[in-house]
Amino acid sequence: MIKVLNIASFIPIQELELDNDISLKIYSDLSKIYGIKSEFVKPVGNIPKWAAFIKKSLKIRREIFSRKDYFDTKYNLKIHFYRDTLPFINKLPFNTDFLLPLQYKIYKKFLKDLIISYQPDLIHSHSICPDSYYAMELFREFNIPYILTIRGSRSGFYFSKQGQEILRNASAITSPDHRVFLSLKQEFPIELIPHGIDDFWYNENKKIFNSDKYRLVTVSRLLEMKNIQIVLKAVARLLQEGYQVTYDIIGDGYFRENLTSLAEELSIMKNVRFHGFQDAEYIRDIYKDTDIFVMLSYPETFGRSYFEASAQGLYIIGVKNTGAYGHLTDSEAIFIDIDELQLVEAIKSINSDEFYLKTSRAGIKVNELRNSMIIEKYYKIISRVIASDQNSHQTYYE
């Protein structure tokens, strides 16, 4: 049985705020389909006792992270909390040449004991900092190969001296981010692997589109960087020009109050619906009643919701050089700058012929992102790396 130890700072903990679950889902599927065993290490801030008295949320985090380990019941995976000496080290600037080695030395025993007890065949790092540095140091000490998946907006770290060292030592490099892929492919053997889309999202029925009414939808966390405020202003402008427009917003987050206030200020609340956080079936039902998925998020590593919406037959509007850009082309979607007027013109440009042409082309491309096909790609990489390593090394655990 293949055993993988994953190091992933950004995975959801069910009692806390939601985070991207893609890493957990990948290895849950690898377990179901190919029998790969995996456990996760999540680096977390070492919250001091006094901080728990200042803020309730810090108290909750301290209580959760004080556990020896944690079991994710949704994905049936074990998670070990690795308490960093510095809270929020993964949010520090790129110049971490001194801090990361110090961090590793102080808490090396935790990781070393875990390696010896679990005895993984492979380490998989799922984000930029500090995950990849820990993976490299464990490789140096135990000779365990590591795969590096580059996600997140801080890909500039890999152009630092420390980042280049991490890339050179990796046995395989992947990224769902087309920008990262283009920037590294000349120097490193990186593979572009998008996030997989479940069969649940695919709609074989042709969508009926009526360009007399624009039915927009966004599915995302409600953060300022998602730029939903730009979409609301575009909706207001279209309504002022006499167009019929509805806009459904699915998701929740700290910026929701700002967005509802803006919608009220623009006098468009009767055309906008805030649904809050919803499950997949609810989202799919909304997709059936809408035509255009718009998300002007920047930066966006991949953005699964673009492709889930596209699989349902929606027309996609995104931002240049981020998210779906590079995975879908201008012949399959519209990509604009983060600009209210550009968005207005993009929406107005959509007619029935344009809609069916681009959605059908996008459907062909998105069909290649079926989850089973993406999981197979990961399995082939894992198998290749382990086979190569077994030909050149003896046991790591002596």
Query: What pTM did the predictor assign?
Result: 0.83
At residue 84 the predicted structure's pLDDT band, cuts being 50, 70 and 90, is low
Which of the pair, 67 or 334, is modelled with greater confidence?
A: 334
Mean pLDDT of 261-273: 97
User: For position 179, what pLDDT does the model report?
Assistant: 86
User: For position 239, what pLDDT does the model report?
Assistant: 97
Same fold, 3-196+372-390 and 199-369: yes
Mean pLDDT of 53-65: 81
Which of the pair, 363 or 147, is modelled with greater confidence?
A: 147
User: For position 356, what pLDDT does the model report?
Assistant: 84
Residue range 3-196+372-390 forms a domain whose CATH class is alpha beta
Say yes or no to pLDDT of 138 above 90: yes
Mean pLDDT of 371-375: 94
At residue 103 the predicted structure's pLDDT band, cuts being 50, 70 and 90, is confident
Taking alpha carbons only, the member of 127, 87, 166 closest to residue 6 is 127
At residue 101 the predicted structure's pLDDT band, cuts being 50, 70 and 90, is confident
Tokens of 273: 């619906």
User: For position 99, what pLDDT does the model report?
Assistant: 76
CB neighbours of residue 261 within 10 Å: 10
Mean pLDDT of 317-327: 90
| Topology annotation, domain 199-369 | Rossmann fold (3.40.50)
User: For position 88, what pLDDT does the model report?
Assistant: 52
Mean pLDDT of 310-325: 92
User: For position 95, what pLDDT does the model report?
Assistant: 47
Helix (H) or strand (E) holding 3: strand 3-7
Tokens of 21: 């679950």
Strands (DSSP E) found in 150-291: 172-175, 190-192, 213-219, 244-250, 272-276
User: For position 119, what pLDDT does the model report?
Assistant: 95
| Averaged pLDDT of the chain | 88
Which of the pair, 220 or 82, is modelled with greater confidence?
A: 220
At residue 346 the predicted structure's pLDDT band, cuts being 50, 70 and 90, is very high
- Which class for 122: exposed (0-12), middle (13-18), buried (19 or more C-beta within 10 A)? buried
What would the pLDDT profile of 23-47 be if each residue is shown by its tens digit? 999 999 999 999 999 999 998 877 7
**Radius of gyration, alpha carbons of the chain:** 22
DSSP of 47-79: --HHHHTT-HHHHHHHHHHTSSEEEETTTTEEE
- Domain boundaries of the chain, sorted by first residue: 3-196+372-390, 199-369
Which of the pair, 127 or 222, is modelled with greater confidence?
A: 222
Q: How far is it, in rounded angstroms, from Cα 240 to Cα 124? A: 52
Mean pLDDT of 72-87: 81
